[in-house]
Structures are given as C-alpha cells and as structure tokens.
Structure 1
Amino acid sequence: MARTTPHQVQDQPLYRKVATQLLGELRDGTVPPGERLPSERRLAERYGVSRETVRQALEVLRRGGMVATDRRGSHAALPGEPVRAPSALAFPVGAAPAVAADRATVTWETPPPEHAEALGLAPHRPTLVHRYESAGSGGRRTAVTSFSAVALAEVEELARYRERADGTASAQLWRAYDWMRRAGLTLHHRDSITPLADAPAVRVTRRVHDQYARPLEITDLVLDDRQGALVYEFTLPADGSTAAPRSPRDPAVR
C-alpha cells in the first residue's frame, strides 16, 4: 500500500502554484489594477506550464474576484487606481475626452501612401490603421493613424487588435503611448500643425519614433478650426528609464 508523505499532502496542484505567482504580481503592481494580463500563451511560456494550467489558475483568481475576463481577455481586478496615460500624450493627437459622439475603429489595410513611406512599409503592405471621429463643442475632429511593423511586433496590446480589425467594433486606443512605454520604448514625437488652404481647418501630423529612430506610428488629424502653424518636439522616456526627458522647444508660429 502506497504511503502518503507530509510533502505530498502539502504539495499544491500546479495550477494553484501558478495562481499564487500571478496573484503576487497583481498585488505588487507588476500588473496594475485595470491592466490586461498577457495572453494565455504568454503566461504559459512565462511559467513553463500548459495553457490549460493557465486557464485553471485564472479561474481560481476569477472566483476570488482578483481577475475579470471579457471578450478581449483578462485584466487585474484588485482595488486600486487604474493606470492612465499622461494627459499630454492623448491618443490620437488632439483627441478630446471620450463622449457619446466619438467613434474609434481599427482596420487591417494598406495605409495611405504617405503613411507607408513614413513607416518604412513596402507598397501595398497592410498594417493596423486606426480611425477616430469626434464632434463636440470644440468642433469636429477626424484622425487616421497607421502603426509600423515595429510597433506591432513589440507592443503586445496593439498586436492583439489585428484579429478584430474589421472596422466595426469600437477601438479606443487612448492607452497606446502608455503601452509603448511599458514595452521599453522611448517615445519621440514631432507634431506639425498647418492650416488647410481650402477650408477653415488645420491639419496636425504626428510622427512618433523610438530611441533607435525606428518609426512607430504616424497620425493625420484634421480640426475644423483655424490657427497658426507650429512645430514642436519632445521625448518621453520608457518606463523605468533614468534618462531625463528632453525639454520641449518653444512652439514657434510660422
């Protein structure tokens, strides 16, 4: 007859060990409140277990109210202040706080030629394209953003949108710059604002690249109010970086 040792009695099932490790990350802020967890595949690779074990671990945390799951994945549900992107870096550039009239969607398509050139994409190569529309007291705003292959390869949260980039579901990517920084990218922005000759509106073109001068995204925003043209630049270090941010240049109206 087999004997059960004290060690065997105390030994937890593998999925409970994974749940304990993941709970530790939720509690120490590695995965902040409201932040989406890595995919089951990534978690399985991280802990060296099967995806089924990860599913069982997540179910334990869900039953305890520490993780919540919707159709876009699982996210931390422990009490605390959700991480918010810096207000100065609203995505897309010029975006107003979300209101009922806002519309934001993503598609997987060939970007405008000038976007493809800025991002170093081959002609007719598709990528993730984000469209934003807002109509409020400040006027109408429409923006088109194209992401580079680098951004999609290094920022997991953006890459996930490819599977549902059908142009129908809402896709508010206001955390985009925060996701990039969490992926270790230092963001350098260059915003050019010019009046449109044939309409009482201005166009804002934002180009973003990282610390290796690799393009990440380009946005064209049109606002239906006129103002002088200006160009300004600034750098926002990646999370955990000890480098001081580059001082913004004084905007110069041309």
Structure 2
Amino acid sequence: MARTTPHDHPTADDQPLYGRVATQLLGELHDGTIPPGERLPGERQLAEHFQVSRETVRQALEVLRRDGLVATDRRGSHATLAGQPVETPSSLTFPVGARSTDPTGFDRATVTWETPPPDHAEALGIAPHRPTLVHRYASAAADGSGLRTAVTSFSAVALAEVEELARYRDRADGSAAAQLRRTYDWMRRAGLTLHHRDAITQVANAPSVRVTRRVHDQYARPLEITDLVVEAQQDALIYEFTLPAAG
C-alpha cells in the first residue's frame, strides 16, 4: 500500500492534491525544467520532488495521460509536448557528424550494452571484455548517398556522473531507437567541463574520411570516444577546444 503523507489531503479550495501536482508538473514541462520528449524522472523521484506520495504521483500522471500530455510505455513516462527546452543547448551535436533529420532520408540511432571495440576500451580505461554503453548512428540521403556511420562508447565515469545516460543501461538492447543528441548538454548539466579532441583523417583506399572524437572532463577523466566514417575526401585535420560546464 502506498504511504500517505500529511500533504496528500485536499486543499481548502477542494482541488485534489494530485490535480495540483499535475498542474505543477505540466508547468515544468512547459518551461523546460523537464525537457520535452525526454523521460520523466521515476515515481519515487517525482514524489520526493513534489513532497507527496507515489500514489499521488500516479494519479497526477494519469491526469496528464488522459489529456495526451504524457505517454507511458514499458520504459517509463515521457512528455509529448512539442518545442525546445528553455536551457540553451551547446553548439555541439552528438554524435560528431550527426545532421538534422531529413524526412526523406535515413536516420537511425540505437544503444547496446556490450564490449566496446578494443581501441575504445583502451581509450576509456575499460578492462578487456568488460561491457559498457555503446551508441550506433547511421544516416544517408534518400538516394543512399552521403552515408555516415558512427560508433560511440561511453566510459564508466560518464555513466556514473550523467544520470540521463545511466538510465539507458537497462534498455540498451539495440532494438529501439535512441537519439542521444543532447548528450553534451546532459554532461554539462552534470557539472562536467568538456574537452574535445577531434582527429579527421582520410580512410586509406576509400572515398571516405574518419573522424575520431575523444572527450574528457576537467579532471582529465575520459567520457566518450566516437568513430565516425563519412563518404567524402578530406585531408587530415586536428583541432581542440573546451566547453565549460553549465551554471
């Protein structure tokens, strides 16, 4: 049985508490406190946030579901509101080389929990044969040209520090779409200063270039490594910059 708290009684204006919680939650969805399209925190977290019982949270979510403002599946609940969050996103997209979705083209991203490529494991300090979160991205024009494929491996540090990434571990089966375009914003919001090093080289004997991005934080801890292959020809180029933490 769900616990009952003193806060769970109707207010003087006879509005049930779950109605007030639904209104407050909707306000946070509108103002970007909870970004649109992202998974909502779990019932326990919402209960602590609003200082109510989990049963009250369930009732509030049901109100929003009936109005089509929240959708729930086996992986949890997420907002269905359109629009962009108030938080200013970083100028970087994830993964490196990702482009705006072309409705006539191909765009696919998935995550798995698996052993990363050996060079990724070495760069991230992951022991051989130890699994981690691996993200795969592929896109192409409608005619199949301009193919881009990227493989990203995340470090144990990234999964420990960035809650939004950690949530993907239990559902990283490679079957569902997993667009992680706001990964760098999540990292910054977790207080991490991001240092990127991108190396661009031409793939031998192929009309393609390879971009290898390594990201570490202000403590020189590796966060992720991405290998992107793009159908193009370009001379080698290496550049570095730092993106400060949010706040």
TM range (shorter): 0.7 to 0.9
Partner of residue 71, structure 2: 69
Verify the 8 A CA contact 2:31 2:86 in the aligned structure 1. Answer: no
List per-residue Cα deviations over 1:55-97 (Å, max 9, x = no partner): 11222333455x3114243344567544698584121111122
Partner of residue 184, structure 1: 191
Of 26-35 and 172-181, the range deviating more from structure 2: 26-35
- CA distance in 1 between counterparts of 2:183 and 2:145 reads 23
Helix, strand or coil at the partner of 1:89? coil
- TM-score, structure 2 normalization: 0.80
Q: Identify unmatched segments of 5+ residues in structure 1.
A: 1-6, 241-254
Number of matched pairs: 233
CA RMSD of aligned residues (A): 2.8
Is 1:158 matched with 2:158?
A: no
Partner of residue 6, structure 2: none
Letter in 1 for 2:208: A
Q: Identify unmatched segments of 5+ residues in structure 2.
A: 1-8
Letter in 2 for 1:191: D
Of 70-79 and 152-161, the range deviating more from structure 2: 70-79
Quote the offset at 1:111 in angstroms. Answer: 0.4
- CA distance in 2 between counterparts of 1:127 and 1:83 reads 31
- CA distance in 1 between counterparts of 2:10 and 2:232 reads 71
| Structure 1 residues 225 and 46: CA distance shift in structure 2, 3 A | same
Helix, strand or coil at the partner of 1:102? strand
| Structure 1 residues 51 and 214: CA distance shift in structure 2, 3 A | farther
| Structure 1 residues 149 and 9: CA distance shift in structure 2, 3 A | closer
- Alignment equivalent of 2:55, drawn from 52, 55, 60: 52
Helix, strand or coil at the partner of 2:55? helix
- CA distance in 1 between counterparts of 2:11 and 2:56 reads 20
Is 1:203 matched with 2:210?
A: yes
Is 1:116 matched with 2:121?
A: yes
Runs (4+) of structure 1 exceeding 6 A deviation are none
Of 115-124 and 154-163, the range deviating more from structure 2: 154-163
Of 127-136 and 16-25, the range deviating more from structure 2: 16-25
- CA distance in 2 between counterparts of 1:203 and 1:123 reads 24
- CA distance in 1 between counterparts of 2:156 and 2:245 reads 19
- Alignment equivalent of 2:111, drawn from 106, 110, 124: 106
Quote the offset at 1:239 in angstroms. Answer: 2.4
Identity %: 76
